[in-house]
């Protein structure tokens, strides 16, 4: 099992969600996050006043899938989240030791 | 005034059922009453809910075993014989065994025991003993302690509410402990009992504490809650007092709110909120009344305004009947309330609640209402307006909205409350984010739109659109000018546009922001919508707003504001002109218009654009290498080249013009979504005449060439024209400035250099090699100094990064030094 974490642009969420649903991904965790990487924050100047945005709003999607699904999921996220511009985001893949469904106590594949 | 009409399900049947249940338990206890205690000083007293005879299926049965010096053995046998039997029958029994002295001293420090005793009732055993308890309780615990008890009750209520006031309890109300729940109703009765010795609603009405109407609606509301509690217990199979989501659908359908589940739930929950609201208002009004009595001398009077005074710290209406005849007098009460934050005097409140104004109000008087919305305590005033029913006199449209709920976890408040809170949030935002408030211009427009933005919600899809229409009429009725009414209406129509654009669109796309700014029209409307968007979201619920969303909405605001105040849309007429042109051209050219980049429609007079579009249509149909359109206007020529975009195209075109000694004054580059490009040049010829056929040939040649070498060789060999030969010799001035701040979408490259044949070509080529895309160019030549301004973006369509700027600057300076070598000193 692998955990896939993707940081994407906020306005891409719907598209990514639909694309993932399209390949049969049924669940995911979505959070509103802020941060910066190569795309630094930006300054907005309006009527002489400066408004600095240090951390850019992004959306983080987390999902756990079987190892053989990883490539497909990653490809789907890339295709749907890409704009080609800076700040399109990143994808991280992490190993998952175990998954347990709290309600039933099921483990592993069953629990995901 | 029109009191809340409460159409509640068959609530009346609950009362007999709970009474019957209490009676059944009474009889059971009497049967179980041990014989050996028959003549002993012992009795069983019902307290709490059971004392009140309000027993729902799984309610606790609270008992007090009162005795006088009985042995422990005997007592425990007696208690067991009763309590064990009740347990066997699955009743939850809570009990205490005490003597008179014990219970009285415990109740002194234990509020819940004290309040439970307020409803005490003898079930079985010695009457004399019970009567002694009752009279000692009155004597020692109530008389002389009334004020103290009231303070304790008030504090207890505050403490309870601070917990149950959380948003989650709005969605899934707690019928017992929640705001306006049973406990509140009990507090109302307790306060009346302790302070005035009144036992029931009936007595309170007789004493003039509540009106007949209030009594009726309080009774209906408490019966309804009782009924729900009854059903809830049965459905859950346990003592469940919270109306969780899972129970709402079944209950709604069961109680006859319709068969279509979602609508039924919404109607059902609306009834629940209305009922709880009646109880909450009733309780708060009584508490306020008591506080007034306790805290102020009755003669505390202060002048407030003509016909209004402050009596015991509350706004008091002096000429009651006149308020019914004079709407401006009536509405001014609430205006002063919105200004001062004072509550209404109980006499004023009950009077207004009972009576209906006799005269329709005019626009002039309507403006008093819209004005009060802009005052700091508008939220309190709105609540009073709702409670007294005057709100429905001003805005009958609110009748449908009272307590109206939406079955989702997103909207935590009933609709009327959400609208009030939106007004309240605006007042907070005015303090918290004052920077842009001055641009709001007409506050009343914004506040009225805030109050009306969801006016048709729940009437079917498209509430923004239908609401806009309704809001327009309301605004006129309240005395707004047609212009103001249109502004209100526009805000209502667009109240979701800003948040949707901010969250779902790419704000680094110029087109996104331009399209949005275009919809706004001007900075005032944009700013009003910005504040409305924030207030609406903050009033919706905790998940609707956070710093994260705020950052995106603010980014959109700032970018659009800049376009509207400094950018291409800065002039007020521009936006209207744009919309007009779009409409005209759309009719003529259809979908062709959709592919055009933003602002294309504004770059030239309509006639020019029309000619260009004909050419574009022709190019698209027949393809071919390129199209050239030339027109003469006031001494210069407009040359439009339409072709397929390719790297370095702009540079090559400038090169082609340079070969013919044409001076490029300005250039705009419009790239269509399908990769067709439309380059518009304004060129001048040094000697007036231009042989355009020659130019066309040159362009054809250059565009078809594989490489630029031939073009560059020819440019270098080009001899300066005679008329531009004579120039004084001096050091070349070279300036390169890069600016990332002025525009939200472009990096601006500004270059000053000695004018030179082909300079523009080499600059454009250098930029393309870097690589950046040139989107606009403005060229002006002052005598021998060329000033070229380029709006550039990366190939992906973004501004350059700040880190990249110094390198690009050095690169361009190097190029310019090479092109314009310094003169040797001795010449």
B453 near B532, Cβ under 8 Å?
Answer: yes
* Average confidence score pLDDT of chain B: 86
Q: Please report how many Cα atoms fall inside a 13 Å half-sphere around the Cα of residue A97, on the Cβ side.
A: 0
Query: Over 80: is that where the pLDDT of B524 sits?
Result: yes
Q: In a 3-state reduction of DSSP, which class is residue A56?
A: strand
Domain boundaries, chain B: 11-143, 148-253+281-287, 579-724, 735-819
Please, which pLDDT band fits residue B784 given cuts at 50, 70 and 90? low
Interface of B with A in 538-557 (CB under 8 A): 546-549, 551-552, 554-555
A82 near A88, Cβ under 8 Å?
Answer: yes
User: pLDDT, tens digit, for every residue of B710-759?
Assistant: 888 888 777 766 555 555 556 667 889 998 888 888 899 999 888 777 78
Q: What are phi and psi of B296, to 5 degrees?
A: -125, 150
Q: Residue B74: its pLDDT value, please?
A: 86
Distance CA B156, CA B662 (A): 88
Better-predicted residue by pLDDT, B729 or B240 = B240
Q: Residue B608: its pLDDT value, please?
A: 86
Give CA separation, B653 vs B672, B689, B698, in Å: 18, 19, 9
B352 near B389, Cβ under 8 Å?
Answer: yes
ipTM above 0.85, yes or no: no
Look at A86 and B802 and tell me if their CB atoms are within 8 Å.
no
User: pLDDT, tens digit, for every residue of B364-400?
Assistant: 889 999 999 999 999 999 999 999 999 999 999 999 8
Q: Residue B4: its pLDDT value, please?
A: 41
B592 near B600, Cβ under 8 Å?
Answer: no
The bridge status of strand B773-782 relative to strand B663-671 is antiparallel
Report residue B590 as tokens.
């259809």
DSSP string spanning B15-66?
HHHHHHHHHHHHHHHHHHS-GGGTTSSEEEEEEHHHHTT---TT-EEEEEEE
> Hey, of A7, A86, A87, A88, which one would you mutate to test binding to chain B, going by the most B CBs within 10 A of its CB?
A86
Q: CA-nearest residue of chain A to B553?
A: A57
Look at B548 and A47 and tell me if their CB atoms are within 8 Å.
no
Please, which pLDDT band fits residue A20 given cuts at 50, 70 and 90? very high
The bridge status of strand B626-633 relative to strand B636-644 is antiparallel
Query: Over 50: is that where the pLDDT of A48 sits?
Result: yes
* Cα-based angle B554, B556, B562 (whole degrees, multiple of 5): 100
Look at B503 and A11 and tell me if their CB atoms are within 8 Å.
yes
Distance CA B41, CA B131 (A): 12
Residue B505 distance to chain A (closest CA, Å)? 5
Q: What are phi and psi of B641, to 5 degrees?
A: -115, 125
Domain B735-819 in CATH: superfamily? ACT domain (3.30.70.260)
CATH 1.10.357.10 assigned to domain B579-724? The reply is no
Judging contacts by C-beta atoms under 8 Å, the chain B residues touching residue A51 are 554, 558
Q: CA-nearest residue of chain A to B567?
A: A46
| Averaged pLDDT for residues B244-258 | 87
Return the residue matching tokens 């307590």: B403
| Averaged pLDDT for residues B332-344 | 93
CB of B562 less than 8 A from some CB of A: yes
Residue B434 distance to chain A (closest CA, Å)? 13
User: pLDDT, tens digit, for every residue of B600-653?
Assistant: 887 888 888 888 899 888 888 887 888 898 888 777 888 999 998 888 889 999
Q: In a 3-state reduction of DSSP, which class is residue B318?
A: coil
Please determine whether the domains at B579-724 and B735-819 fall in the same fold group of CATH: yes
DSSP code, position A82: -
Please, which pLDDT band fits residue A108 given cuts at 50, 70 and 90? confident
Name the residue among B94, B102, B109 with its Cα closest to residue B51. B94
Name the residue among B642, B639, B641, B686 with its Cα closest to residue B662. B686
Give CA separation, A65 vs A17, A25, A32, A79, B27, in Å: 15, 9, 21, 18, 63
Q: Residue B5: its pLDDT value, please?
A: 42
Helix boundaries (H) for B341-436: 346-354, 363-373, 378-388, 390-394, 415-432
User: pLDDT, tens digit, for every residue of B65-96?
Assistant: 999 888 888 888 888 888 888 888 888 898 98
Distance CA A64, CA A27 (A): 9
If phi > 0 it is left, if psi is from -120 to 50 it is alpha, else beta; for residue A108 that is left
Least confident of B103-107, B410-414, B616-620: B410-414
Q: Which of B287-301, B583-597, B759-773, B780-794 has the highest mean pLDDT?
A: B759-773
User: pLDDT, tens digit, for every residue of B460-509?
Assistant: 888 999 999 999 999 999 999 999 999 999 999 999 999 999 988 888 88
CB of A16 less than 8 A from some CB of B: no
User: pLDDT, tens digit, for every residue of B292-321?
Assistant: 777 766 667 888 888 898 887 889 998 988
Interface of A with B in 20-79 (CB under 8 A): 32-34, 40, 43-47, 49, 51, 53, 55-57
Judging contacts by C-beta atoms under 8 Å, the chain B residues touching residue A43 are 741
The radius of gyration of chain A from alpha carbons, rounded to an integer in Å, stands at: 17
Please name each of the domains of chain A with its CATH number. Answer: 2-111 (3.30.70.120)
Residue B387 CB coordination number (10 Å):
23
Q: Residue B81: its pLDDT value, please?
A: 87
A46 closest CB neighbour out of B551, B561, B802? B561
Query: Over 80: is that where the pLDDT of B826 sits?
Result: no
CB of A109 less than 8 A from some CB of B: no
Interface of B with A in 742-761 (CB under 8 A): 744
- pTM, two decimals, is 0.76
Which positions ≥6 away from B388 have C-beta within 8 Å?
B1, B344, B349, B352, B353
Name the residue among B446, B445, B409 with its Cα closest to residue B429. B446
Helix boundaries (H) for B705-804: 709-717, 759-769
Q: Residue B430: its pLDDT value, please?
A: 95
Distance CA B369, CA B479 (A): 10
- Beta partners for B305? B308
| Averaged pLDDT for residues B814-821 | 84
**3-class SS string, B538-606:** HHHCCCCCCHHHHHHHHHHHHHHHHHHHCCCCCCHHHHHHHHHHHHHHHHHHHHHHHHCCCCHHHCCCH
Topology (CATH level 3) of domain B148-253+281-287: 1.20.120
Which positions ≥6 away from B280 have C-beta within 8 Å?
B179, B180, B184
B47 near B94, Cβ under 8 Å?
Answer: no
Distance CA B290, CA B292 (A): 5
What order of strands is seen across the sheet that includes strand B301-305?
Answer: B301-305, B308-311, B314-317
What order of strands is seen across the sheet that includes strand A29-35?
Answer: A29-35, A56-65, A2-8, A90-95
Distance CA B774, CA B759 (A): 15
| Averaged pLDDT for residues B245-264 | 86
B796 closest CB neighbour out of A33, A47, A84? A84
Q: CA-nearest residue of chain A to B793?
A: A85
Q: What are phi and psi of B12, to 5 degrees?
A: -60, -25
B552 closest CB neighbour out of A10, A44, A49? A10
Q: CA-nearest residue of chain B to A49?
A: B435
Domain B11-143 in CATH: superfamily? Beta Polymerase, domain 2 (3.30.460.10)
Helix boundaries (H) for B718-798: 759-769
- Cα B509 to chain centroid distance, Å, stands at 26
Q: Residue B123: its pLDDT value, please?
A: 92
User: pLDDT, tens digit, for every residue of B1-45?
Assistant: 433 444 555 566 778 888 888 998 999 999 888 888 888 889 999
* Cα-based angle B411, B474, B2 (whole degrees, multiple of 5): 75
B390 near B3, Cβ under 8 Å?
Answer: no
A85 closest CB neighbour out of B503, B561, B796? B796
Distance CA B762, CA B654 (A): 9
Look at A47 and B565 and tell me if their CB atoms are within 8 Å.
yes
User: pLDDT, tens digit, for every residue of B153-208?
Assistant: 888 888 888 888 776 677 888 998 888 898 899 999 988 888 888 888 999 999 88
Q: Residue B827: its pLDDT value, please?
A: 37
Look at A44 and B744 and tell me if their CB atoms are within 8 Å.
yes
What count of CB pairs under 8 Å joins A to B? 53
Name the residue among B178, B202, B179 with its Cα closest to residue B192. B202
Q: CA-nearest residue of chain B to A9?
A: B506
User: pLDDT, tens digit, for every residue of A53-103?
Assistant: 778 899 999 999 999 999 999 999 999 999 888 888 999 999 999 999 888
Judging contacts by C-beta atoms under 8 Å, the chain B residues touching residue A31 are none
């Amino acid at each position: 099992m692998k955990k896939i974490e993707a940081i994407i642009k906020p306005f891409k969420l719907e598209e990514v969600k639909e694309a993932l649903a399209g390949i049969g991904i049924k669940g995911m965790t979505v959070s509103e996050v802020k941060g910066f990487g190569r795309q630094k924050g930006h300054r907005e100047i309006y009527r002489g006043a400066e408004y600095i945005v240090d951390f850019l709003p992004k959306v983080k999607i987390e999902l756990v899938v079987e190892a053989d699904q990883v490539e497909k999921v990653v490809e789907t996220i890339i295709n749907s989240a890409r704009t080609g511009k800076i700040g399109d985001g990143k994808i991280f893949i992490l190993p998952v030791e175990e998954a347990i469904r709290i309600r039933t106590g099921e483990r592993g594949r069953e629990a995901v | 005034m029109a009191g809340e009409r409460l159409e509640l399900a068959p609530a009346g049947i609950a009362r007999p059922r709970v009474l019957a249940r209490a009676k059944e338990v009474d009889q059971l206890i009497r049967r179980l009453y041990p014989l050996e205690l028959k003549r002993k000083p012992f009795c069983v007293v019902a307290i709490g809910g059971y004392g009140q005879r309000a027993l729902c299926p799984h309610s606790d049965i609270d008992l007090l075993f009162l005795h006088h010096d009985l042995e422990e053995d005997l007592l425990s046998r007696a208690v067991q014989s009763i309590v064990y039997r009740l347990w066997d029958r699955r009743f939850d029994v809570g009990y205490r065994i005490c003597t008179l002295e014990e219970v009285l001293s415990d109740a002194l420090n234990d509020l819940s025991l004290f309040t439970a005793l307020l409803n005490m009732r003898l079930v079985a055993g010695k009457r004399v003993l019970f009567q002694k308890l009752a009279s000692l309780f009155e004597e020692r615990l109530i008389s002389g302690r009334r004020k103290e008890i009231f303070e304790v009750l008030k504090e207890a209520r505050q403490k309870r509410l601070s917990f149950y006031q959380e948003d989650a309890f709005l969605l899934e109300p707690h019928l017992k402990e929640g705001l306006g729940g049973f406990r509140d109703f009990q507090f109302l009765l307790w306060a009346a009992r302790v302070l005035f010795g009144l036992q029931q609603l009936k007595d309170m009405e007789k004493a003039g504490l509540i009106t007949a109407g209030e009594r009726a609606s309080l009774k209906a509301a408490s019966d309804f809650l009782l009924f729900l509690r009854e059903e809830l217990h049965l459905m859950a199979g346990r003592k469940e007092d919270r109306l969780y989501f899972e129970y709402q659908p079944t209950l709604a359908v069961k109680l006859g709110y319709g068969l279509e589940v979602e609508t039924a739930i919404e109607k059902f929950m609306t009834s629940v909120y209305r009922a709880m609201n009646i109880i909450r208002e009733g309780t708060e009004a009584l508490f306020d009344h008591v506080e007034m009595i306790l805290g102020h001398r009755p003669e505390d009077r202060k002048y407030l305004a003509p016909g209004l005074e402050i009596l015991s710290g509350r706004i008091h209406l002096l000429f009651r009947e006149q308020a019914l005849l004079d709407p401006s007098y009536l509405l001014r009460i609430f205006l002063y309330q919105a200004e001062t934050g004072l509550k209404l005097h109980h006499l004023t409140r009950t009077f207004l609640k009972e009576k209906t104004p006799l005269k329709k109000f005019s626009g002039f008087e309507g403006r008093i209402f819209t004005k009060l919305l802009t005052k700091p305590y508008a939220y309190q005033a709105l609540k009073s307006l709702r409670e007294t029913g005057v709100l429905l006199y001003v805005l009958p449209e609110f009748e449908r909205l009272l307590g109206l709920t939406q079955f989702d976890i997103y909207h935590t408040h009933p609709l009327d409350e959400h609208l009030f809170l939106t007004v309240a949030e605006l007042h907070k935002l005015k303090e918290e984010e004052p920077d842009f408030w001055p641009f709001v211009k007409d506050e009343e427009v914004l506040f009225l739109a805030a109050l009306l933005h969801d006016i048709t919600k729940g009437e079917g899809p498209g509430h923004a659109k239908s609401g806009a229409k309704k809001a327009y009429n309301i605004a006129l009725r309240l005395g707004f000018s047609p212009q103001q009414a249109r502004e209100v209406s526009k805000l209502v129509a667009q109240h979701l546009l800003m948040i949707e654009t901010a969250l779902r669109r790419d704000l680094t796309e110029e087109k996104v922001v331009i399209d949005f700014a275009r919809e706004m029209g001007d900075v005032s409307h944009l700013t009003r919508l910005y504040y409305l968007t924030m207030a609406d979201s903050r009033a919706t619920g905790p998940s609707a707003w956070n710093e994260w969303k705020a950052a995106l909405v603010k980014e959109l605001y700032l970018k659009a504001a800049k376009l509207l105040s400094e950018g291409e849309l800065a002039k007020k007429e521009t936006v209207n002109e744009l919309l007009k042109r779009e409409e005209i051209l759309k009719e003529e050219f259809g979908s062709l218009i959709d592919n055009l980049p933003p602002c294309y429609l504004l770059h030239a007079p309509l006639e020019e654009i029309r000619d260009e579009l004909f050419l574009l249509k022709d190019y698209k149909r027949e393809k071919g290498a390129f199209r050239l359109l030339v027109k003469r206007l006031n001494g210069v020529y407009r040359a439009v080249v339409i072709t397929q975009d390719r790297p370095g195209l702009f540079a090559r075109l400038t090169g082609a013009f340079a070969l013919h000694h044409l001076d490029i004054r300005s250039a705009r580059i419009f790239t269509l979504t399908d990769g067709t490009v439309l380059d518009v040049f304004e060129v001048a010829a040094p000697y007036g005449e231009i042989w355009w056929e020659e130019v066309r040939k040159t362009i054809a040649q250059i565009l078809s060439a594989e490489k630029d070498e031939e073009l560059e060789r020819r440019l270098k060999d080009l001899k300066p024209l005679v008329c531009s030969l004579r120039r004084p010799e001096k050091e070349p001035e070279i300036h390169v400035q890069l600016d990332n701040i002025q525009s939200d979408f472009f990096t601006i490259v500004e270059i000053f250099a000695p004018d030179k044949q082909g300079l523009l070509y080499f600059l454009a080529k250098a930029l393309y090699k870097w690589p950046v895309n040139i989107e606009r160019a403005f060229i002006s030549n002052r005598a021998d100094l060329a000033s070229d301004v380029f709006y550039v973006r990366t190939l992906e369509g973004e501004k350059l990064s700040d880190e990249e700027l110094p390198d690009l600057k050095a690169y361009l300076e190097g190029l310019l030094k090479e092109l314009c070598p310094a003169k040797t000193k001795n010449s």
